[in-house]
Structure 1
Amino acid sequence: MIFQIASGAAMFVNLVLPLAHRSADDLADLLILSAYIWDELPPEKRSAFQVELREKYGLNLQESGASLSDEIGLYPYIRFLRAALTVRLPPGQLVSLSEDAHEHFQVEFTQEGRRLYFEFSKVKITPRPSWALIWIAMSGILATLCLAWLLARRVTAPVARLAEAALRIGKGEQAPLLSEQGDAEFADLAHVFNETSRQLQAQRENQTTLLAGVSHDLRSPLARMKMALGMLAEEYSSPLLVRIERDIAEMNELIGDQLALARALEAEAAENTDIDALLVDLIEAADTQAPGRLQLRVDGCRCEAKIAPMALRRCIGNLLDNALRYGGEREIQVIRRRIHNTIFIGVRDRGPGIPPQLREAVFRPFYRMEPSRNRTTGGNGLGLAITRRLVETHGWQVALKSRIGGGTCIWLLIF
């Protein structure tokens, strides 16, 4: 902007103003010469001279009786013309300039005792310094804004691609590698980002492989222990055997949940899914644990969408397990609504509720509100953590709200 203003000012001072002064000098010479010729011509030839001035130069010349009021408005060129006439006329002679409502200028001065009156249109004023300055300023600002926009696009385009790739990595997807061409700074940043993306992907794959291996290695001896306990139970009846079987079942469930938590980082392929049928299937399965306590409420017609069905099934299943575990003995409602392109699925219970300060903590792995850490009453603390990770991986949202009159409502938003 400083360069544009400086260059515009230099052009105005060194080019536009000299041209305006030169044009004003030429017009002043023409007016004085016309006045001199008018004074020298015999009266019978002056009318022909008036016609020639009007046709060739756009000047109307006549003798004036009354003096003009000296008002010229905001026209720099006319001020230049006044200065040029003042220099060329005899010292002390006054020059009057004015304008009328018909876009004409009037110039009046005395030549050999005669008061001569000239009139010409504003169109005749070709050099207009004020307009030139405005055009220079406007073109400078426009050029600056265009250049700034191009430079900003050059800077923001790689940053936008970087932000999009980072967002995809945050969702558990494999982001495409960024181009490492272009400016050195952006190329270095893209190189570092690509290396980080590769390392994160390798860590995720290693973590999943490790957990899968650990799950297999642990479940195999657990299965053998369970089989041996079953054989012992046929020969001996002992409460200790029952307790060991229950502990093995809990360990097997915990291993499965941890593996599900790790695999929740992998996005599942979307497919056309009948959401209402999926909810009915989940409610029928959960109804075996608590007959008559679950109620499904849907609005509108049949709801179908292209989503990840297994991820949705796991999310809703975890929410139902939580509601059955903590919701007491009262009714549990499953709500399905569709507003425009967003699907809302809510699970509402009448349990003790969750304090506002703990609504974010309950989504952390292994966090349990039950202080005794008893899995019978508090679970293993992975259900909501798995739900949150699945939701983030597939671009959904989960929100926890308190119900009026007590209880909790967890909404799943699918876009």
Structure 2
Amino acid sequence: MNLRWDIRTRVLFVALVPTLALGILLTLLLTFSRLSDLEDALVQRGTALARQLASASEYGLFAGNREVLDRLAASTMANNDLQGVAIFDSARTLMAVSGLQAHASDRSFGTARVEQVGSDMLRIVEPVVRTPAVEDDPYILTSERPAGNATLGEVVVLVSLEQLQSRKRSQMLAALGTLAVVLAASVLLAALMSQSVSGPIRGIAQAVTDIGRGLLATRVPVTGGGSLRRLAEGVNDMAASLAVARDELEQRVSEATDQLRQRTDEAERANLAKSRFLAAASHDLRQPMHALGLFIADLARKEHNEQNRALIERIAASAEAMENLLNGLLDISKLDAGVVSANPQPTSLTPLFQRINTDYQQTAGEKGLRLRVRPTELWVHSDPLLLERIILNLVGNALRYTARGSVLLVARKRGDTVRLEVRDSGIGIPPEAQESIFQEFVQLDNPARDRSKGLGLGLAIVRRLALLMGHDIGLHSLPGRGSTFWVDIPVASPVATREHALQPDHELLGCVVGVVDDDALAQQSLAGLLRAWGCYVVAADGLDALLDAFNEAEVEPQILVSDFRLPGEYDGLTLINAVRARYRRTVPALLLSGDTGPETLRRAIDYGIPLLHKPVRPAKLRAMIIHLLAWRDDTRGV
């Protein structure tokens, strides 16, 4: 347990906790012992009264004298705590009663016992046993003597627990008062001890803090003896040495500043060259990856035998692994470059939870896990797209590292915030690793770098997105007992929203799509996939060729899909604007790019055109096209 307590607090803690624990333990032991004694005493007293009454009732029951029994019952009621007395003969006939009437028991007649009736009364039963002395009484006629069983009847005494409970409350109050006095005395004594022990140390700590801030003239008063004196003298010597060293370092720093400035300029030029190289390399790598993914999707739609189908699935899995790595690196680079901006707004969690439940149920079922998404109607103030990415990463991570059991997604309102929690029954995370798992490429249970367990980028992206939106994020976990990741988000009031119904897949049939890409493989793969979806595709490698193709086909584009890098004077953004100007309307458009540099994303945001980085998954491309077509219909007032 890593507690950031100062020395005074620690001394107080060490002094108070044992005393408080011992005081509570002794108080509880003595109190419960006393309460038990009070209860035992009451039971013993009631039992003694019942036995006395049973002994005294022997003659009356033997003779059947109700008058004598009534007097005995009435005299017994003179005792405190008694609520009722009843005497029964061997036939369970009530012979005498005083106070509350008790009933003879149906079972175990003639057996001594103590029973509790309700919460405030005891029922004590004592049998009346016939003795030889009664049988020899000459004044009782033989014909009146009962025969057979030696039990003449039983006596039932009702004892009130009210006074006992009152004594218990008094005893508890007294115990609490004693504990409070002991605690107050312990606090006072601990405070005095803490002040005498921690005062000099806190003075030295403050001096060290001031020295650390650059106040090298600070000195510690040297008082007392032993270790504290040596410590104070050492701090003073250290401050003097640091003052001399600072003067020397200032001179050296001044001499080294010019050299560092020159090296910094060289490093900045090298970093700029590196960035250009990485952007170019990334673009060249993403182009064939993008084409490969689209070719695989188009190939998978065709008829194949079982062996070829399995081969296609393995090829698709390998391509997806490479795509995940590229996308993860791209997300990290965009967040680090500061080109991703948050757009907080009132956001309903209902559709987000529904999508996660739908998307991940199959994945959970394949692993034999139970995914539970607790429905919620809460609203939060957050960017819906970035928040969905956070929760998707957390849920995917939980399913990946959980071998058996379940994963739970739940939202709870906590004052002015909503806490989203993702709980799993997985391997758990040791305390010393709970900070490092939010760093890039850190995986605790994947030394062999198995791609099925991810790339180690998910939690790094989660932390950056949460920091971008100002959401608190945390983790509770124990090894072998699962983990709980949580995100705190400001609560928001519900607002009226308009649900845009996405167009069904069949509405892509006949949709006129303009495709622009100077890479022949990328153009062919994209055009082939769009045609497989039923689109009418007009493909070209530049603006003039595209407009000529539209004129020749005598159609107008319903949507444009263009690569960013194009030969000649136009890039993807300026080409889209030129096509819109040609047809005098805002044609929905989508930009594809293999560039990972922040400048491309900034320009796309400025133009208001969505950007997808290559390689693009077919499902994501299809969803974006349908979304843009729905947006087009909305702007027309449909």
**TM-score range with shorter-chain normalisation?**
0.3 to 0.5
Question: Could you tell me the TM-score, scaled by structure 2's length?
Answer: 0.30
Question: Could you tell me the TM-score, scaled by structure 1's length?
Answer: 0.44
